[in-house]
Amino acid sequence: MVDGVVYYRVFDPTMSITKVEDANLATQMLAQTTLRNMLGTKSLADILRDREEMAEQMEEVLYSASKNWGIKLERVELKDVKLPQTLQRAMAAEAEATREARAKVIAAEGEMKASCALKEAADVMSESPAALQLRYLQTLAEIATERNSTVVFPIPMDLITSFMRK
């Protein structure tokens, strides 16, 4: 539902009486019809965004039609656009879905960057066994600072199997 206001004045009373039966009613009906036609060509987003532009277009159309009736259009304003509750809920749900989709894309891009960084780190560590050992010791130091009572100390299976053969 759209609320609009049309301000006009009669500049030629003779024409307003002879050219049309009821100038007030004719102007009102013309404004309603023009508004309905303009709303039918626009999307809801366009209506909400371009109210002033639509008002200017309506003013041009109304002026060209009503000047022959002795009526001068002063101003056209689209005051308010009221949406039904069901449409408001649908629009809110659509906006929320769009935000969630954007958030998932951003999270996926973050995961992609993290996996590339991990791959690069693994490549660097694979070139130097000492780097892997240092990282391992750094992780143990971090665990020790947390004051955990249990520390799992993994030992490579190669080392254990060599003791088992003897």
Using the 3D structure, point to which of 82, 99, 123 is the last residue of a domain.
82
If asked whether residues 39 and 100 sit together in one domain, one would say no
For residue 81, pLDDT over 70 is answered with yes
Same-domain pairing of 16 and 73? yes
Q: Kindly report the pTM of this predicted structure.
A: 0.49
Domain that includes residue 97, residue range: 88-164
Which pLDDT value is given to residue 100?
94
Three-class SS state of 150: coil
- End position of a domain, from candidates 66, 82, 98: 82
- DSSP for 64-112, written as a single string: HHHGGGTEEEEEEEEEEE---HHHHHHHHHHHHHHHHHHHHHHHHHHHH
Domain count, the chain: 2
Q: For 10-38, what is each residue's pLDDT tens digit?
A: 888 888 888 888 888 888 888 888 888 88
- Work out the mean pLDDT of the chain and round it to a whole number: 82
- 51: domain CATH number is 3.30.479.30
Q: 69 and 125 share a domain?
A: no
Residues 29 and 64 in one domain: yes
121 and 55 share a domain? no
Sequence-ordered list of residues with C-beta below 8 angstroms from that of 47, at least 6 positions apart, any chain: 2, 39, 54, 81
Residues 97-114 have pLDDT tens digits of 999 999 999 999 999 999
* 85 has a pLDDT exceeding 90: no
Of the ranges 3-12, 28-37, 126-135, which one carries the lowest mean pLDDT score? 126-135
Please give the average per-residue pLDDT across 63-68, as a whole number: 85
The last residue of a domain, from among 51, 82, 113: 82
